[in-house]
């Protein structure tokens, strides 16, 4: 069949393109050049994606708030990111007089580099992974942990109270939710049996009838995905967890004292972190590059991956347009007193799921435990709580 081979070629288009380009080089250089091309592709594609997302976000938010959004530059305002980019490049790079110049300079670089490194282990299509590491998930979280330090560097070196407060809030929030993020990923590792992200996708890439075996379609997977989504939102400092840069209190948080290109780097780093965490959520719970229904298998795998990432980014934007910002104490209480115990329980439920064997029994037992826990902790526990006026320990 002609169409089958066409779709196979489309699925492998990036490999064919790479092999064609590498073919111009001498044989000795080819492996290195292939890897280099992969790196260049990631470094080129995701910033482009970032530019698109900014304009979509502004237009989408505009629609949600009953206004038009940017519509002046180019058709429908789609060249707005180009204008913004030129503006960022030509602006003066102001460095505060009392700041710590070296650390102030290094902070955005560390952020962008560590975020980019996280993309190396994400499988973006069939066999499309830059470095298929045995401990890929651990590598991803290690790089995520390294970004926290860059936030501290930015906040501390600016020598500004807003920056420092923003950085402290950011780190406290990221550490609290990182625990949750890791634990919710552990349940996938328990079932998938590997830390390698491509193996986790392989484990989900099978169908019963037309329906896929994605982990989100299991009780523990659904609970894990919800928890993961909450933690990912907090980890990327997106609304409603955007306290580190709460404009109404902290100007712009840890990047208050950044301007011009360095600010653009921070902006880029935050969006890239959002893409990479969406990619991770897609890989862990939504079947990565596998098709949602078995007869859609012919569509190239990378289209599914990027489609799912786009979808989760839309949800991010939607949440930003819908939910109000939390307060710091609410945020911390939510992390440590509700989400973390729930995730620990979910680990236990995952183990039950693993050992109860096939059949309806494990569906009933696991769902019952999770729903009961959610109802008890979320509904009954919260009802007894009184949200009175806040007491200020230090300000009074």
Under rule CB under 8 A, residue 153 binds another protein: yes
Q: Which residues contact 196 (CB under 8 A, 6 or more apart)?
A: 132, 133, 134, 135, 136, 137
Rounded least distance, CB 152 to another protein, Å: 6
Distance CA 344, CA 183 (A): 7
Under rule CB under 8 A, residue 113 binds another protein: no
Rounded least distance, CB 157 to another protein, Å: 9
Strands of 150-281 (E only): list them: 207-208, 211-212
Angle in degrees, CA 80, 85, 87, rounded to 5: 95
Residue range at the interface with another protein (CB under 8 A); choices 51-59, 87-95, 151-159, 384-392: 151-159
Whether 256 contacts 205, CB under 8 Å = no
- Which position has the token pair 């499988």? 123
Among 116, 156, 228, 258, binds another protein (CB under 8 A): 156
Among 40, 94, 142, 375, binds another protein (CB under 8 A): 142
Tokens of 49: 């994606």
Angle in degrees, CA 333, 237, 285, rounded to 5: 85
Number of residues that bind another protein (CB under 8 A): 27
Under rule CB under 8 A, residue 127 binds another protein: no
Query: Mapping DSSP to helix (H, G, I), strand (E, B) and coil, where does residue 212 land?
Result: strand
Among 25, 44, 135, 376, binds another protein (CB under 8 A): 135
Under rule CB under 8 A, residue 171 binds another protein: yes
Residue range at the interface with another protein (CB under 8 A); choices 4-12, 170-178, 237-245, 364-372: 170-178
Distance CA 308, CA 326 (A): 27
Among 32, 36, 44, 134, binds another protein (CB under 8 A): 134
Rounded least distance, CB 309 to another protein, Å: 24
Between 5 and 391, name the residue whose CB sits nearer to another protein. 391
Tokens of 11: 């699925």
Under rule CB under 8 A, residue 168 binds another protein: yes
Tokens of 282: 């897609």
Whether 166 contacts 174, CB under 8 Å = no
Give yes or no for a cis peptide into 240 (omega within 30° of 0).
Answer: yes
Under rule CB under 8 A, residue 194 binds another protein: yes
Tokens of 167: 């950085």
Residue range at the interface with another protein (CB under 8 A); choices 138-146, 211-219, 225-233, 293-301: 138-146
Under rule CB under 8 A, residue 181 binds another protein: no
Rounded least distance, CB 148 to another protein, Å: 6
Under rule CB under 8 A, residue 149 binds another protein: yes
Under rule CB under 8 A, residue 382 binds another protein: no
Distance CA 234, CA 175 (A): 10
Between 113 and 365, name the residue whose CB sits nearer to another protein. 113
DSSP tag of 324: P
- For another protein, the binding residues (CB under 8 A) are 100, 103, 133-135, 138-139, 141-146, 148-149, 152-153, 156, 164, 168, 171, 175, 178, 193-196
């Amino acid at each position: 069949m002609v169409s089958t081979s066409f779709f196979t070629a489309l699925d492998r288009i990036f490999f064919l393109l790479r092999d064609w380009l590498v073919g111009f080089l001498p044989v000795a250089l080819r492996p290195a050049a292939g890897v280099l091309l992969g790196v260049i592709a990631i470094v080129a594609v995701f910033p482009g994606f970032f530019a698109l997302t900014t304009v979509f976000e502004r237009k989408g938010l505009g629609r949600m708030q009953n206004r038009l959004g940017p519509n002046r530059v180019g058709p429908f305002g789609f060249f707005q990111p180009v204008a913004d980019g030129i503006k960022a490049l030509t602006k003066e790079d102001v460095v505060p007089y009392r700041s710590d110049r070296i650390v102030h300079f290094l902070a955005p670089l560390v952020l962008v580099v560590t975020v980019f490194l996280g993309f190396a282990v994400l499988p973006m299509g069939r066999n499309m992974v830059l470095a298929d590491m045995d401990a890929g998930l651990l590598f991803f979280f290690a790089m995520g942990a390294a970004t926290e330090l860059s936030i501290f560097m930015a906040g501390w070196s600016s020598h500004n109270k807003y920056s420092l407060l923003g950085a402290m809030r950011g780190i406290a929030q990221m550490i609290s939710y990182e625990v949750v993020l890791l634990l919710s990923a552990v349940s996938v590792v328990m079932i998938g049996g590997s830390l390698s992200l491509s193996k986790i996708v392989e484990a989900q890439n099978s169908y019963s009838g037309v329906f896929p075996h994605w982990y989100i379609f299991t009780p523990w997977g659904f609970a894990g995905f919800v928890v993961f989504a909450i933690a990912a939102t907090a980890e990327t400092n997106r609304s409603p967890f955007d306290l580190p840069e709460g404009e109404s209190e902290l100007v712009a948080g840890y990047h208050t004292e950044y301007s011009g290109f360095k600010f653009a780097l921070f902006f880029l780093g935050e969006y890239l972190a959002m893409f990479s965490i969406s990619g991770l959520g897609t890989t862990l719970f939504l079947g990565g590059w596998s098709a949602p229904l078995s007869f859609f298998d012919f569509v190239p795998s990378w289209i599914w991956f990027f489609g799912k990432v786009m979808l989760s980014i839309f949800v991010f934007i939607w949440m930003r347009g819908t939910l109000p910002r939390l307060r710091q104490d609410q945020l911390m209480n939510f992390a440590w007193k509700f989400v973390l115990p729930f995730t620990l329980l979910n680990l236990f439920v995952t183990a039950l799921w693993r050992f109860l064997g096939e059949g309806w029994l494990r569906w009933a037992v696991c769902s019952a435990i999770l729903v009961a826990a959610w109802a008890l902790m979320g509904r009954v526990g919260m009802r007894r709580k009184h949200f009175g006026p806040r007491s200020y320990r230090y300000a009074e």
